[in-house]
Amino acid sequence: MKVLIVDDERRAREEMERMLGLYPWIKIVGEASTVQEALVQIDRHDLEVLFLDIQMPKKDGFQLVKELPSPPPKMIFTTAYDQFAVRAFEVNALDYLLKPIAPDRLKMALAKLQTPTHTGETEMPFRENDRVFIRDGDKCWFVSVTAIRLLESEGDYTRVYFDDQNPLIYRTVSSLEQKLPSDLFFRANRKQIVNFSFIAAVTPWFSNTLKVKLRGGEEIEVSRRSTKVFRKKLTL
């Protein structure tokens, strides 16, 4: 099971690596001391688990959660403070470990990784022939799903591009990705989802990635991870 350790304290990362090293089915693929470093690692690896500190410089662990790809890896928070526990479970954390982490407590958290989980009912996904209601302030639209060419994350909001409009709605881009038809929409990077049918051109980009240009004029850089998926899905 591929794991990334995210903590701004070097000794904390080393201790977590030592403790996880006792479990042969755990593979630590990287470490990060900041949110930005973590996002680079997440793009590079198909992660299954994040061991995530909360209080870090510039951006904290909860801000990293907002930028995770969908579906996100499982999250186990590691922190010296207990006041964030409720918020951690609100973002679907698998567990919450207080430092210094006891071996028995870590063992319990790892056991959860090997236990199948059952989720409740979810919203019905959209179909290609559906029309969706979009509202931004006092403006409203009733738009065909196929007319949406781009969705772009702005924190907890998403900007939706169709025709010459780009309203901002209070939904995360990850939650919308789960509702969109997967054979029509593609997660190009952490912040943007594109409609395949609106891609006008594809060009090679840095580090074996791609850049796509949409018929609306937008240019989108495809992440390394998403480039692999894109090529696998569309290459003859």
pLDDT digits (tens, 9 = 90+) for 126-147: 888 888 888 888 888 889 999 9
Percentage with pLDDT > 70 across the chain: 95
**Can you give the residue ranges of every domain in the chain?**
2-113, 131-234
2-113: CATH topology: Rossmann fold (3.40.50)
Termini Cα distance of the chain:
32
pLDDT digits (tens, 9 = 90+) for 150-197: 999 988 899 999 999 999 998 888 889 888 998 899 999 989 999 999
Give residue 118's pLDDT: 41
Give residue 122's pLDDT: 45
Q: Which CATH number fits domain 131-234: 3.40.640.10, 3.40.605.10, 2.120.10.30, 2.40.50.1020?
A: 2.40.50.1020
Instruction: Show the DSSP H helices in 21-96 as ranges.
Output: 35-44, 61-66, 85-90
Top-confidence residue, 87 or 153: 153
The yes-or-no verdict on residue 115 having pLDDT over 70 is: no
Q: What confidence tier does 14 reach under pLDDT thresholds 50, 70, 90?
A: very high
Residues 73-78 have a mean pLDDT of: 94
How high is the mean pLDDT of the chain?
89
Give residue 79's pLDDT: 93
The answer to pTM > 0.75 is no
Residues 209-228 have a mean pLDDT of: 92
Residues 35-57 have a mean pLDDT of: 92
**Separation of alpha carbons 117 and 41, rounded Å:** 26
Look at the alpha carbons of 59, 65, 70, 76 in this order and tell me if their dihedral is positive or negative.
Answer: positive
Range from 30-34, 84-88, 143-147 carrying the lowest mean pLDDT: 84-88
Token pair for 28: 């630590």
Give, in order, the Cα–Cα distances in Å from 112 to each of 93, 136, 153: 11, 41, 31
Query: Would residue 74 be called left, alpha or beta, if left means φ above 0 and alpha means ψ between -120 and 50 degrees?
Result: beta
